[in-house]
Amino acid sequence: MAKQAKAVVCREWNKPPVVETVTVESPKRGEVMVKIGACGVCHSDYSATNGTIPLPPPLVLGHEAAGTIVELGEGVTDLAVGDTIIVSWIPMCGKCRYCVMGKPQLCDQSAKATVTLPDGTHRFKDKDGKPLNHMAGTGVMAEYATLHRDNVIKIDPSIGMDKAAIVGCAVMTGAGAALNTVKIEAGATCVVFGAGGVGLNTIQGCAISGALRIIAVDMSDKKLEFARQFGATDTINPNTDGDAVGKIMALTGGGADYAFECVGLGATITQAYNCIHKGGTAVVVGVSKPGETVTLNAFLIPFQEKVLVGSMYGSARPSIDFPRLLDLYKKGSLKLDELVTATYTIDQAQQAFDDLVAGVNARGVIVF
Ligand SMILES: [Zn+2]
Ligand SMILES: [Zn+2]
């Protein structure tokens, strides 16, 4: 049954998002309706409000959520009303060449569902009956959302909604880059550029993998303080410490084994590539503006045999990785409680975005 729900909507780029009441349509075949329990405020949501990630408005924000299934569409037989789920913003189809080759994070179905459900239609309408786009094919900064069945992963209901929510983006993207995209050897030296919600999770992914030295680079001392809490052994603030690459070369005696770029800028990708030793691996996690380019010294490429690789959604296989990350949390290896440094009501969404831009939180979460 269709429901009325409050939702956080970007109406126009470079304007603050607004909270409005929308209609959430009933699930169609292969879909489910979810009562959202909590939704993290991710930097990508902010990027969607200013066109850095060019998803057209009007757009219901949010792609990092957990909730409870309240209605099943026709044909959904492997889930039940009352199940607790985490939203995956990649609806892996299981059939395309990428799913079959074991890279569901690159799924063709998901590439089509950027602002709609995979069938190309919307499940949100505004008060005038006009359709609203779904951020990342989900749009879960709302009291209710109708999603494709492939966008939800059933989890243990004992996990708090705010903790479960952030696994759906920041934790998966950040920790996954260290746990899935590359295989870090115990004792390795890692560098993480950017200590925001994603970078902090890359830091803890490196720590879980047994990295001995983890160097965090960020322009904010507050974020570097968080970085130490999540496992960074050294921190560099280029504002006060000067050239990061030179510092890293000195600290590591000639370059790190792995560098993770969690910022999304050509200049920091170049630094990540330059701060690893010969044969090392630089991983690009941050999402840049379309058209952003990277400058590398072409002459040195064959001599150094470095690897530069992208990491999409932490190379997630959500149905395997979400439960695994929650198991690491229950065991005490993965910090989630410490990540949620503030919670907000949906009516405080503007404050949550202001705090994101000010960089005061490890992660802010809207709790419903
Ligand atoms: Zn995100
Ligand atoms: Zn697929």
Tell me how far apart the alpha carbons of residues 125 and 40 are, in angstroms, rounded to a whole number: 23
Ligand (nearest to CA of 109): 2
Q: Beta partners for 31?
A: 148
Gap from CA of 105 to ligand 2 centroid (Å): 8
Ligand (nearest to CA of 102): 2
122 residue type, one letter: H
Ligand (nearest to CA of 312): 1
Question: How far apart, in Å, are the Cα atoms of 341 and each of 194, 200, 365?
Answer: 18, 13, 8
Ligand (nearest to CA of 88): 1
Q: Beta partners for 88?
A: none
Ligand (nearest to CA of 101): 2
- DSSP line for 348-365: GHHHHHHHHHHT--SEEE
Q: What is the pLDDT tens value at each position of the chain, 368 positions in all?
A: 999 999 999 999 999 999 999 999 999 999 999 999 999 999 999 999 999 899 999 999 999 999 999 999 999 999 999 999 999 999 988 999 999 999 999 998 888 889 999 999 999 999 999 999 999 999 999 999 999 999 999 999 999 999 999 999 999 999 999 999 999 999 999 999 999 999 999 999 999 999 999 999 999 999 999 999 999 999 999 999 999 999 999 999 999 999 999 999 999 999 999 999 999 999 999 999 889 999 999 999 999 999 999 999 999 999 999 999 999 999 999 999 999 999 999 999 999 999 999 989 999 999 99
**Strand 124-125 vs strand 276-284: parallel, antiparallel, or unpaired?**
unpaired
- DSSP line for 68-111: EEEEE-TT--S--TT-EEEE-S----S-SHHHHTT-GGG-HHHH
Question: How far apart, in Å, are the Cα atoms of 146 and each of 25, 87, 128?
Answer: 7, 11, 19
Question: What is the residue whose two structure tokens read 């850095």?
Answer: 52
What single-letter DSSP state applies at residue 320? Answer: H
Ligand (nearest to CA of 170): 1
Gap from CA of 42 to ligand 1 centroid (Å): 5
Tell me how far apart the alpha carbons of residues 191 and 280 are, in angstroms, rounded to a whole number: 11
Residue 293 has a CB neighbour count (10 Å cut-off) of 7
Gap from CA of 111 to ligand 2 centroid (Å): 9
Ligand (nearest to CA of 46): 1
Gap from CA of 318 to ligand 1 centroid (Å): 14
Distance of CA 327 to the CA centre of its chain: 19
Tell me how far apart the alpha carbons of residues 17 and 12 are, in angstroms, rounded to a whole number: 8
Query: What pTM was computed for the model?
Result: 0.95
Gap from CA of 64 to ligand 1 centroid (Å): 6
Gap from CA of 282 to ligand 2 centroid (Å): 26
pLDDT, residue 110, reads 84
Ligand (nearest to CA of 264): 1
Gap from CA of 318 to ligand 2 centroid (Å): 13
Q: What angle is formed at CA 289 by the lines to CA 287 and CA 290, rounded to 5 degrees? A: 110
Tell me how far apart the alpha carbons of residues 329 and 321 are, in angstroms, rounded to a whole number: 12
**Strand 18-24 vs strand 3-10: parallel, antiparallel, or unpaired?**
antiparallel
Q: Which helix (H) or strand (E) holds 124?
A: strand 124-125
What single-letter DSSP state applies at residue 283? Answer: E
